Each structure stands twice: as C-alpha cells, then as structure tokens.
Amino acid sequence: MDWNASTWWWLVAGILVAAELLSGTFYLLMLALGCVAGALAAHGGAGPVAQIAVAALFGAGTTASWHIRRARAPRSAPVERNRDVNLDIGSQVVVRAWGADGSTQVQHRGAAWSARLAPGAPATSGLHVIVAVEGNQLQLSPASSPPH
C-alpha cells in the first residue's frame, strides 16, 4: 500500500480530532484544521515544504483566532452569584429582623435558611432578593435596591 502525503495529513488530522474528543480542548480541533489545509495543499500538488507551511500557518492562525475570541468573550458571573448555576438567585424572601452581626433566618423553599446581608445593603426588614448562595447561606439585598 502506497501512502501519499495527503493520506498522512488526513491521518494526523483524525488523530488530533480523536485527541480533542478525549481531552476536551478546542485548540486541538484548530490544529486538525491546519492538517486538513496541509492535506488539501498536498491534493493540489504542493511540495512538502509548502504543505508544512500551509498547515502551520492555517493551524496557528485558527488557534490564535480562537484564543483571541475566547479572551474577548464576556466572563460569566462567579458560581455563587451565577443564576445559570443556582436557580435560587433572584428569588425573594421575607426578612423579619436582622441580628446584630448582619445575619438572619428566612424561609425559602419550605425550609429555614441562614442568611446574611449583602455588603453595602441596608439592614431593613421586609422583602429581600437572594443575590448569592455561599455554601448553605443566602446573601440578601433589599428588593427595592439592585442586587450587588
């Protein structure tokens, strides 16, 4: 069996895709695209040096593009404040009174929860919004003010 240069490029691209599936890093897919570009250059009749140059430039270019795109993407909120992670954030509870240390007990989802006041929020009784969940303690802010 005679393997030409394009066969090797396709083989390496397949190995990189398999490695990406095992590792979960998207960068290996960008390098696989570079190998695909090298294979297409081989199919087009380019010499070995041109194939390597095309693969290297395309792989490095797509990897750099992906890195820049990820760096510019907005970051998600920290886990304790991220509503996508914890659906309790944004829920409302009623605070009867605050302790001297800024803590209280509230009823939420049919159970008593320990809660504390969000930094900078006034210690008032009444309706509050859950702005963060840290362990088993809720962080609350008055419903009339925006969450911190």
Q: List, run by run, the mean pLDDT of 10-residue segments along the chain (148 residues).
A: 87 96 90 96 95 96 92 81 82 92 91 92 91 90 68
Closest CA to 60 of 100, 32, 40, 39: 32
Domain architecture of the chain: domains with CATH: 5-72 (no CATH), 79-142 (2.40.50.140)
> What pLDDT, on the 0 to 100 scale, is given for residue 1?
59
pTM over 0.85: no
Sorted by sequence, the CB contacts under 8 Å of residue 64 that are 6+ apart come out as none
> What pLDDT, on the 0 to 100 scale, is given for residue 14?
96
